[in-house]
Chains A and B, each alone.
Chain A
Amino acid sequence: MKKLYYLWQFMKGNRALYIISIGAIGMATFLLFFWPMILRVTVDSIIGEKALEAQGWLKPIFTGAFNFFGGRSGLVGKLWICSILLIIITLIRGIFLYFKGKWSAIASESIAQRIRDKVYNHLQLLPYNYHVKSKTGDLIQRCTSDVETIRRFLAIQFVEVGRAFFMVGFALSFMIPMSVPMTLVSMALVPFIFGFAVIFFIKVKKAFQLSDESEGRMSTVLQENLSGVRVVRAFARQAHEMDKFDTRNCEYRDLTYRLIRLLAWYWSISDFLSLIQIAAVLILGTFWAANGVISLGTLLAFSTFVGMMLWPIRQMGRVLTDMGKTMVSVGRIHEILDEPTEEFHDDEKIAVKGKIEFKNVSFEYEPGKPVLKDVSFTVEPGQTVAILGSTGSGKTSLVHLLPRLYDYTSGSITIDGIELKDIDKHAIRKNVGIVLQEPFLFSRTLKENIGISRINSEDDEIFEAAQIASVHDVILDFQKGYETAVGERGVTLSGGQKQRVAMARTLLMNTPILIFDDSLSAVDIETDAAIRAQLNRRARKATTFIISHRLTTLSEADIILVLEHGKLVQIGSHEELVNQEGLYKRIWNIQNSLEEELETELEKNNVKIGINK
């Protein structure tokens, strides 16, 4: 029920459109019933010689029209008037049908668009942590196929439900006044036909699912074969792969064929029932008409009604079962929308100089498992801070606090003396440029990828940022240069190139605070050094945080922080730390062992050569 309410919420703003489009289908259905009635009057009272017979609420309309055109004597020579009426009614009905189609499309498409936009934006505003934990495939599935299920329901089936109700309702109100026994005959099998449809589509769900799953398994084998083509060839397993695929291919074929056969049963039985219903009306009607109980026109009207009614009723069985699917989709979409988003106050603007102070900062992802413990340090504007620590020591968590991707649990972080938690998230993120460990590039051109971080960025600025990140020349070497699209076939950026493009993108933001989260790990040492030299030459030097384990990078920093299990164990400059026992010194000592190693290698060689002499 709650899901129905959600669906109702989604329909906000388009409800009126739905109501009138259901109204339109009501009108169209209503008019549809007129043409058997016209046929009846024509056959009975114009061609035939019976007095005009119209019962109940239809009486004034038909007698009025009949007399207007001059009664039987007037109409018998002008049968074309009946034809024109028939055509006009169909035309008006067509206009209603057209508007029903148009309005329900406008309504359902704009609802679908609203859901899409809403989900998209909601996902963007969900906290960083949500995206760290989320399963991408599942989310994409929800955003695409679940939205599509809802859309299809709203566009086609929702209105169909209305049609079936109108159909039965109008049929009864037209049929009962004409002949109660004939009405009973006409409706005799309808509940069975409807029930059979509902039961069948519930039962056959399993078969649908089996077929879908087997198709999935077949695709998996295919996918694995294609992506593992090297392994297949290197082990010469083609024959085996063909057998494996054939098994799945057969399975899919057989399970789907089973489903089709079930459907064949459904349609043949359902058609059998429907045809029996039609036959019952025809034969009993004929019997009564032959005995003069009903007129020929009445018989024709009933035959036509039954024929019109059965199809929407059979469809209903399907619609009702599909409704279950739609509700599941609504629920899955709402699971996303129910997640609380981050809060922003977009009007806020701040000018940051870059002085940062951590005072007894602690942070935990889950209560009771602190990742950072009691960290305190101060950084002056323009200083470079290098962070060293083993995996899981809290380096990344520490830098993630600055752009408020996460909020610290206790203690205080101030930027230019202002408490970080009091600064709006958007405002601070515009002032803290961070290059993530595994940067994501968008599937656009390289120029757009760099320029994406600042609206209306000039080409020159983009090139400059790329130059600082030492990727300008690399890009120019590509056949299409800056117009090369990321992900395009044949052009694959190496890990280091991706990192540098991401870096250029962040540099273009020109933020007073910069963070590199191990973002030069895939870049070779020489390029790494060149980039840092360029950064230092920048006019307005940003307060910079670098996570790295490269000695050269570390040693050039103004302040080096050494983290161990979330605690700040050492802090100081290169000169200070190199004389203290600790991780930094151990790293520094590797250099010495390399030199020793090389020397022994060279000596060994000399000895060997010496012997050879």
Chain B
Amino acid sequence: MSVYKEQEYTKRFDISLWKKLYQFIKPYKKRLAVLGFFMLSLAGVDVIFPLMTKYAIDHFVVPQNTDGIVAFGVVYFVLILLQSLNIYFFIAIAGKIEMGISYDIRKKGFKHLQELSFNYYDKTPVGWIMTRMTSDSTRLGEFISWGLVDMVWGVSLMIGIVFVMLFMQWKLALITFTVVPVLVVISLYFQKKILKAYRKVRKINSQITGAFSEGITGAKTTKTLVREEENLLEFQEITTKMNRSSVRSAIFSALYLPVVLTLGSIGTGLVLWRGGSGVILGAISYGTLVAFISYTVQFFEPLRELSRVFAELQNAQASAERIFSMIDEKPDIQDTSEVVDEYGDITECKKENWPDIDGNIHFKDVSFGYKDGEYVLDDFNLEVQAGETIALVGETGSGKSTIVNLACRFYEPTKGEVLIDGVDYRKRSLLWLHSSLGYVLQTPHLFSGTIRDNIAYGRMDATKDEIIEAAKLVNAHVFISRLENGYDSEVGEGGSLLSTGEKQLISFARAILTDPKIFVLDEATSSVDTETEQKIQDAIHKVLEDRTSFIIAHRLSTIRSADRILVIQKGKITEMGTHHELIKLKGYYYRLYSNQFMEERESELLTA
């Protein structure tokens, strides 16, 4: 658990991390250079504006002369135009880079996620991955583009101002600069504090979201336990904490501005005092004095932006670290390079080299554990003939699913080997095996899209007739035809617009369309109405014909029709045989069958 809590990152600047990030920045090198150019130009014009004011004062106002004011106006207008263009281009280009980089990160991340093994998915919450792929990649894109914008603009504006001031009046400039170091230190200090406080607020905010979600989903239970008061008290504790830290965070921001403004005004005050005296003595022009005052005010903005960028650097690094922890994760199950050379990989498969599969599966001295040292299967042996139907029964956690997962190469044996048609499957490609696999899950998973899309998921080139045929075969055609848009009806997110039974029938049709050689059925226990139930049973029988199949079965009719039934207990086969043989044995299967018989009949009576 602790691994997946949002970690606190305190590292200052991690060069090796940014070297790794370079791969994402590289394609945008040219654009970044152009962006840098616009930022320089922007800062340049920002520096020029006060000089224009200085010119106006020293050339028109003081000498009381308006010759050339039109030309002055034209130049000023051109500068405005230039500045407007600068603004348009820097926003547009930075936006392009921002979106481009986060797009690339997501693309790469997604590809990698398609290669990671189930082991990774077992230990990593989906929400965690989602956050890496969405907010972290966004934040990184944002930081690289807008961070650069602020940095180049801030630094060049500050340098520009410093140079112009030194050039105009180096003595006055040096006096003014005395406040700068203090400003820098204070800005850095506050921005860091502000960001930290803000992070804390966000953390508590997610607690509030959690509390709301629990309060709402658990409202019925709360009522029966009469716990409303205690719940409210607990909730108020969190909201009070939220209140306190939010105010604290706001106070930091509220304090920062006045402090910086006051410090800035000391700079302005110095200019007014020393500069004003200079004007009286005739050593400094009015225009210079005014320009200096403008610059002292202007100096503060880039300083604030820069310190914000530095504070955010930490956050961006944390995002980068988390993204790389995902991208750098090595898939546990991977084809060796020889296998890839021969049979291809997910982006380019060499189907012409794939041998046909008959469907003989042989577990040879297989041991396996999800965690080190804890074996779920130990020295397991099983030979399955092509076309045979194997039913696996046993309690939750007995190892039924593990056997199936190993047969499908979703996991690989820790010891021993699994042979398909006599060859260790590690010598063939993953895609080769999976392309011959039909898989129907306990909880059917559909993708957003139409029913047609979902059935054709396993074989995109299937014709309309083939799809309908598959649907007919599993008795799904009737209910699909009854829908308003037939096969083009949307199934909703995760299939939410269909009932569980309907989703199941569609997942059967999807499996059957690929004409798999090996079939796996993790049978659902959830109760559907008797009619649908009957349809599902029929579908199962049709699907299983002539295929090597593994069934994790609960329903008697499915179990009974299997060629072989295996009772799995603690990773071992304790009973094996046909239905008749096992009944005669009067062991575990006999008891299971009796209980199941009663339950099924009862529920038939009660749901009829």
Q: Do A and B assemble together?
A: yes
Known: A105-B254, A121-B232, A434-B224. A225 touches B56 (CB 8 A): no
Nearest CB of A to B467, in Å: 15
Known: A257-B95, A282-B53. A267 touches B605 (CB 8 A): no
Asked if A54 is at the interface (CB within 8 A of a chain B CB), the reply is: no
Number of interface residues of B (CB under 8 A): 153
Asked if A291 is at the interface (CB within 8 A of a chain B CB), the reply is: yes
Residues of B within 8 A of A226 (CB): 113, 121, 126, 129-130
Once the chains bind, are A590 and B56 in contact (CB under 8 Å)? no
Asked if A536 is at the interface (CB within 8 A of a chain B CB), the reply is: no
Residue of B at shortest CB range from A143? B212
Across chains A and B, the number of contacting residue pairs, with CB separation under 8 Å, is 423
Cross-interface CB contact of B60 among A225, A286, A429, A593, cutoff 8 Å: A286
User: Which of A160-168, A234-242, A361-369 is found at the contact surface with chain B?
Assistant: A234-242
Known: A90-B262, A268-B91, A436-B224. A235 touches B84 (CB 8 A): no
Q: How far is the CA of A249 from the CA of B99 in the complex (A)?
A: 10
Once the chains bind, are A268 and B242 in contact (CB under 8 Å)? no
Known: A94-B257, A120-B215, A279-B73. A290 touches B92 (CB 8 A): no
Nearest CB of B to A420, in Å: 16
Once the chains bind, are A453 and B228 in contact (CB under 8 Å)? no
Cross-interface CB contact of B262 among A35, A87, A232, A452, cutoff 8 Å: A87
Known: A264-B95, A271-B83, A594-B597. A86 touches B268 (CB 8 A): yes
Once the chains bind, are A97 and B254 in contact (CB under 8 Å)? yes
Asked if B246 is at the interface (CB within 8 A of a chain A CB), the reply is: yes
Residues of B within 8 A of A452 (CB): 225, 227, 230
Q: Which of A473-501 contact B (CB under 8 A)?
A: 485, 488-490, 494
Residue of A at shortest CB range from B115? A238
Cross-interface CB contact of B88 among A94, A246, A265, A286, cutoff 8 Å: A265
Residues of B within 8 A of A436 (CB): 220-221, 224
Known: A121-B228, A300-B290. A100 touches B254 (CB 8 A): yes
Asked if B373 is at the interface (CB within 8 A of a chain A CB), the reply is: no
Known: A86-B272, A105-B254. A608 touches B580 (CB 8 A): yes
Asked if A229 is at the interface (CB within 8 A of a chain B CB), the reply is: yes
User: Which of A130-138, A172-180, A459-467 is found at the contact surface with chain B?
Assistant: A130-138
User: Which of B431-439, B544-552, B564-572 is found at the contact surface with chain A?
Assistant: B431-439
Once the chains bind, are B255 and A439 in contact (CB under 8 Å)? no
Residues of B within 8 A of A253 (CB): 99-100, 102-103
Residues of A within 8 A of B445 (CB): 224, 227-228, 230-231
User: Which of B26-34, B62-70, B164-172 is found at the contact surface with chain A?
Assistant: B62-70
Q: Could you say which of A87, A236, A299, A452 has the most chain B C-beta atoms within 10 Å of its C-beta?
A: A236
Once the chains bind, are B130 and A109 in contact (CB under 8 Å)? no
Nearest CB of B to A433, in Å: 8
User: Which of B74-82, B148-156, B531-539 is found at the contact surface with chain A?
Assistant: B74-82
The digit string for A251-284, where 1 denotes a CB below 8 A from any CB of B, is 0111011001101110111011001100100110
Q: How far is the CA of A235 from the CA of B603 in the complex (A)?
A: 34
Q: Which of A73-90 contact B (CB under 8 A)?
A: 76, 79-80, 82-84, 86-87, 89-90
Residue of B at shortest CB range from A148? B205
Once the chains bind, are A101 and B254 in contact (CB under 8 Å)? yes
Q: Which of B319-377 contact A (CB under 8 A)?
A: 346-347
Once the chains bind, are B250 and A105 in contact (CB under 8 Å)? yes
The digit string for B98-109, where 1 denotes a CB below 8 A from any CB of A, is 111011001100
Nearest CB of B to A36, in Å: 10
Asked if B231 is at the interface (CB within 8 A of a chain A CB), the reply is: yes
Asked if A539 is at the interface (CB within 8 A of a chain B CB), the reply is: no
Once the chains bind, are A223 and B126 in contact (CB under 8 Å)? yes
Once the chains bind, are A140 and B213 in contact (CB under 8 Å)? yes
Known: A101-B253, A287-B60. A42 touches B431 (CB 8 A): no
Asked if B601 is at the interface (CB within 8 A of a chain A CB), the reply is: yes
Once the chains bind, are B261 and A275 in contact (CB under 8 Å)? no
Asked if B542 is at the interface (CB within 8 A of a chain A CB), the reply is: no
Q: How far is the CA of A111 from the CA of B51 in the complex (A)?
A: 48
Once the chains bind, are A144 and B91 in contact (CB under 8 Å)? no
Asked if A578 is at the interface (CB within 8 A of a chain B CB), the reply is: no
Residue of A at shortest CB range from B232? A121
Residues of B within 8 A of A267 (CB): 87-88, 91
Q: How far is the CA of A102 from the CA of B251 in the complex (A)?
A: 5
Residues of B within 8 A of A254 (CB): 99
Nearest CB of A to B411, in Å: 11
Q: Which of B201-225 contact A (CB under 8 A)?
A: 205, 208-225
Once the chains bind, are B607 and A230 in contact (CB under 8 Å)? no
Residue of B at shortest CB range from A303? B53
Once the chains bind, are B134 and A219 in contact (CB under 8 Å)? yes
Once the chains bind, are B224 and A403 in contact (CB under 8 Å)? yes
Q: Which of A183-229 contact B (CB under 8 A)?
A: 215, 218-229
Cross-interface CB contact of B92 among A128, A261, A439, cutoff 8 Å: A261
Cross-interface CB contact of A98 among B85, B102, B227, B255, cutoff 8 Å: B255
Known: A106-B247, A117-B239. A268 touches B87 (CB 8 A): yes
Cross-interface CB contact of B602 among A98, A275, A550, cutoff 8 Å: A550
Q: How far is the CA of A524 from the CA of B445 in the complex (A)?
A: 28
Known: A128-B223, A233-B434, A590-B601. A605 touches B129 (CB 8 A): no
Residue of A at shortest CB range from B4? A489
The digit string for A570-605, where 1 denotes a CB below 8 A from any CB of B, is 000000000000010011001101100110011011
Known: A283-B72, A390-B606, A549-B603. A605 touches B95 (CB 8 A): no
Once the chains bind, are B80 and A219 in contact (CB under 8 Å)? no
Residues of B within 8 A of A104 (CB): 250
Residues of A within 8 A of B239 (CB): 113, 116-117
Known: A249-B110, A292-B64, A605-B580. A389 touches B606 (CB 8 A): yes
Once the chains bind, are B437 and A604 in contact (CB under 8 Å)? no
Nearest CB of B to A489, in Å: 6
Asked if A95 is at the interface (CB within 8 A of a chain B CB), the reply is: yes
Once the chains bind, are A234 and B224 in contact (CB under 8 Å)? no
Once the chains bind, are A128 and B220 in contact (CB under 8 Å)? yes
Asked if A289 is at the interface (CB within 8 A of a chain B CB), the reply is: yes
A-B contact pairs, 30 of them (CB 8 A): A83-B272, A89-B265, A109-B242, A113-B243, A117-B236, A136-B213, A148-B205, A225-B114, A227-B126, A235-B439, A235-B457, A238-B346, A242-B111, A242-B347, A260-B98, A264-B91, A271-B84, A275-B80, A279-B76, A291-B66, A452-B227, A489-B1, A490-B1, A502-B221, A549-B602, A550-B598, A601-B580, A601-B583, A601-B584, A605-B583
Given A222-B130, A226-B130, A282-B52, 4 other A-B residues pairs in contact with their CB atoms under 8 A: A83-B268, A102-B247, A289-B60, A430-B226
